[in-house]
Amino acid sequence: MRADVITVKGMSCEHCVKAVEDALAPLGAKGEVDLGAGTVKVTYNESSVSIETIREAIEEQGYETNA
């Protein structure tokens, strides 16, 4: 398992937290959102999913991630 922190712009409420967490779940990744910091700590199996795929899933929810 690997853990990375992704900066995510545009999150402002609990709905945002749920949207991000729900986007990661089908990928087998777990996200811990910190609204105050604007970050998501993502824990995932790097042999099953890439960080790029995780970023894309978050961006598909309408948020901007760091590259």
What's the pLDDT tens digit per position in 13-48?
999 999 999 999 999 999 999 999 999 999 999 999
CA neighbor of 1 nearest in space, from 38, 47, 33: 47
In this predicted structure, what is the pLDDT of residue 66?
84
Burial class of residue 20 (count of CB atoms within 10 Å of its CB; 0-12, 13-18, 19+): buried
Q: What is the pTM of this model?
A: 0.92
Two structure tokens written together for 32? 């811990």
Residue 6 has pLDDT above 70, yes or no: yes
